[in-house]
Structure 1
Amino acid sequence: MRIACRRLVLPEQVLSDVVIDLDDAGVVTAWQQDSPGRPADLTVGLAVPAFANTHSHAFHRRLRGRTHAGGGDFWRWREVMYREAAAMDPDRLRAVAAAVYAEMVAAGYSAVGEFHYLHHRPDGLPYDDHAMEIALAEAAEAAGIRLTLLDTLYLRGGFGRPLEGAQQRFTDGSVCGWLRRWHSLRETLAASHPDVTLGAAIHSVRAVSAQDLGDAVAGLPANVPLHVHLSEQTQENEDCLAATGLTPTALLARAGALTERTTVVHATHLTDEDVATLGAARVSVSMCPTTEADLGDGLGRAADLQRAGARLVVGSDQHVVIDPFDELRRLEGGARLASHRRGVLSPAALWRAGGTDGHASVSSQSSRAQALRVGHPLDLAILNAQSARTVGSEPHELVLSAAADDVIGTVVRGTYRESANLRARAVAAYLVTETSHV
């Protein structure tokens, strides 16, 4: 197959009349620019590298537009979320995830990291054959998105606290139990859904003890993506300091959990020492600005983390909206509000955060990828450059003016998917789950 782009926006440059040759698997075999009118199977106007959503809880989409009237804070919101978690079964999870993932592809995402802890039945007893995980894999396949399943370790309800209520279905009882299930899941996915990347996640330092952190890291293959919620709330920091004498970042560092394969999520409340530690480890930091604003989490230290050596990436987390441009614009907007100056993160830095660095975060390869590279799958988002939002924008600055509704279609591994059809499918799939309200 051959795809022609009249303009292709890469992080550092805008190319004209780019022609890309693909093999049957959607992998780039060759490309060249300045080739106007060269015959192609698909010709598009303006394209950008497709985005990676590095932090998703698919079932949280059920909370959109339903938790605002009562006010409160993160911990009050969490109780509502737990009620939704308790109602999930494989069929409902498959339906809501199919809707969420279709909405993501329609918005220009080609890959997602699903931070998944709904492992078992509500009473904690296991499903047969990894039913919840297979439901997510099937939903991703139906939507056409590349899935990294971040299977999550969750062992306690907080520092010195047992598991309660909905948390019972999150746990495997021990690190050994989790690792046994993780390796069994790896074999199952390899046989039934080989395109799914199985990663791992530590839910948080409040859900996993210091000793178990080290055992979990030691029990995983070295190339597996490892994600962890970090310092989203000040209470987590205070409880960690009281229990261990360390910040959550320092505790993870002591356990050997901070390396280039690691992505820390949120990282909102950090000390200067934490920032230096994360930067020196070259971790990725998944900021989720629409969720962090919705929950009143606070502003993270994006510019400081970038200067220290960490890589910034974005996720939509609880799916208040699914719009990579909104996440990236808020990432830069938060940095502006914190520093009282403009242009803290350049358009090129934002394209990398949404694209190449995001894809590295959910890949088994930790090194930074190129946006267009022979031997790699082709993922593109096709934009309408003449909408009321985008008309007149410089192509490389569209990251700060476009929106998800400006995405006409998305190419995932060489296959083009029209956004209008995907949005209609998302609505239909989501309505399947509308049997009750929270």
Structure 2
Amino acid sequence: MTPAARLSAAIDLIDIIDAQRIPAAKALKEWGTAHRYAGSGDRAAISGLIWDVLRRQSSAAWLMEDDSARARLLGMLRLERDMDVATIAALCDGGRFAPDTLTDGERAALTSRTLDAAPAHVAGDYPEWLDPYLAKAFGDDRAAEATAMASRAPLDLRVNTLKGKREKILPRLSHLGAVETPWSPLGLRIALGADARNPGVHSEEDFIKGAIEVQDEGSQLAALFSAAKPGEQVIDLCAGAGGKTLALAAMMGGKGRLIATDHDKRQLAPIHERLSRAGVHNCEVRTPRGEADALSDIKASADLVLIDAPCTGTGTWRRNPDAKWRMRPGALEVRLKDQAEVLDRAAPLVKPGGRIAYITCSVLPDENGDQVRAFVARHPEFSVQPPEQTASVLWDKAEDFAKAALQSDEGWLMTPRRTGTDGFFVSVLRKL
């Protein structure tokens, strides 16, 4: 397919997504099945166009003064891919399989209109109902922060220190363009272009042998800030597929007791194979059975309880731009209740002097600092560990990290704009 034909296909797909109100991933899968002539490069390029339109659909429509699929795609090419009018016009030449030629109005919009007068939720490309929440988090910077959350994320990897060292593995991934991550001492980063296919990391020997895992640098830092140590008793209370469980296991060096559980046993399904591949031998996976408490035998004995809390996922919008437009206010209310419940569940598991690491992949204060303050009010035997002490695990990078991330009395907030990571909040609470 020509680049122009890919644009036409993307416009048709956006129309389908709008009309049928279906997730973009489903529409892309069905399109690929129905158009088997399209090669993998074509499918990757069209997927990239669709995701980028979703990233910038409000601002693109504002720029073009038109909310049609075509207008949003044209506006995205200008805003997200920084194409000039001549380049866009060359793609839209009205030829076979190409979009129709640009109208005078489209040329004028692409040439002269800007986002200078756009409301924050339009310039930042997020649902208007979320504006008060993001204003609470970022104030006048909310549009800039949200814009950074709209751009495509790189692919980050975490080196599993049970199987290897970063300096040894990095050269073996040079063909993928891997470089060291800015903050995490365990991270590798692969930049991805607009039309790039995800590299075949899962077929790399280091992945097959468990020496690397896919994990955003922010998630790596969140695990590091928990300061899990060899010999401790550690509970991963919302383990899910096990991303942070694996990170904790490596930090513990195979020594101590690691328990992974989750209220939804379906989420735990992949964890067993991942633990085996990573060479983890000190982790016990506890699958919930009916109404029984999987941790009923744990009474104030844990050194660390890590809570990768259920949240709205606003910090991961750059990886799943479809999610932000499908999010509804009721989802936040449900998550706030879930978070309070899991925090209260963790409290009696922690021994005196032990700690809770509370983590969300959200940038909303209601899910972050507000939850921590409410928890401490309910459980005065806990206090927040000073954030600068939490970040000290970064050693020589701690001072620079403190300048980049947002620090509050309750913890750290990382964002794509400030730290180049997904949006993550981390608070460490110590029991008296």
TM-score range, shorter chain: under 0.3
More strand by share: 1
What's the TM-score, normalizing by structure 2? 0.27
Q: Indicate the structure with greater helix content.
A: 2
The normalised TM-score by structure 1 is: 0.27
Larger RCO (CA under 8 A, 6+ residues apart): 1
